[in-house]
Amino acid sequence: MEKGDLTERTKGSTLRNWNTLCFSLELPGPVITMIPMDTSLRLLRIVWGALLASVAMYVLVGEQVGRHHPTVDLMVFRMIAVVAIVTVGLIFGVRRVIVLRALQTLADRPDDAAAGMRWRGGYIITFALCEAIALYGFVLRILGFTLNQVAPFYIGGVLLLLYFGPRRPASNDLGASASTMG
């Protein structure tokens, strides 16, 4: 046996060991722990409050920066209005598909961490979509539309945020949503 053969065998052995170490390790899956409902609700209320405050900031900044341009394209306004209407539909879809299904699961298994995460995530997605409607108004204001023209977007975003605000699911709400989802 020559010295070069031993070196090649050692390299090959080391490479196989490295591949085994890197590619065949069984890593544990994500550990999902249940966050208490009070903590989740507090987090959602903080996010909700920040998003409500940001709508007020959109109005203030829009009034400072946005100026009316007499040559604004009404087609842009109409397209963004259609997008806002579709967004409202998405909000109700997210509520039905994510939030209510998570509530149904939580009614059966209150300690289900994955359902708690879906419930919380569904609320955050709902808030973001409500916020998007107000943001459409801000964009239109920056493009030169008047406050009277964009006010429905701001008001709609705020009203939707208020309507879909974070609420503690009551046990009878859980049972009612479970029976309607079947």
Q: Of 21-25, 73-77, 101-105, give the range with the top mean pLDDT.
A: 73-77
User: What's the pLDDT band for 24 if we cut at 50, 70, 90?
Assistant: very low
DSSP 98-135: IIHHHHHHHHH-TT-HHHHHHHHHHHHHHHHHHHHHHH
- pLDDT at res. 177: 45
CA distance 166 to 163: 9
Structure tokens at 175: 């049972």
The distance from CA 80 to its chain's CA centroid, rounded to whole angstroms, is 21
Asked if 40 and 117 count as a contact pair (C-beta separation under 8 A), the reply is no
- Total residues belonging to the chain: 182
Torsion of CA 117, 120, 124, 126, to 10 degrees: 110
The answer to whether residues 62 and 138 touch, using CB atoms and an 8 Å cutoff, is yes
Query: What own/partner pairs with CB < 8 Å and gap ≥ 24 does 42-49 have?
Result: 43/120, 44/120, 44/123, 44/124, 44/127, 44/166, 45/166, 47/124, 47/127, 48/127, 48/161, 48/165, 48/166
Cβ atoms of 136 and 80 within 8 Å: the answer is: yes
pLDDT band at residue 50 under the 50/70/90 scheme: very high
DSSP state of 24: S
Task: Summarize pLDDT for 101-151 with one digit per residue, the tens.
Answer: 988 888 888 888 888 889 899 999 999 999 999 999 999 999 999 999 999
As a whole number of angstroms, the distance between CA 73 and CA 110 comes to 52
Show Cβ contacts of residue 131 under 8 Å, excluding neighbours closer than 6 positions.
51, 54, 55, 157, 161
Write the CB contacts of 109 (distance below 8 Å, at least 6 apart in sequence). Answer: 115
Domain ranges of the chain: 35-180
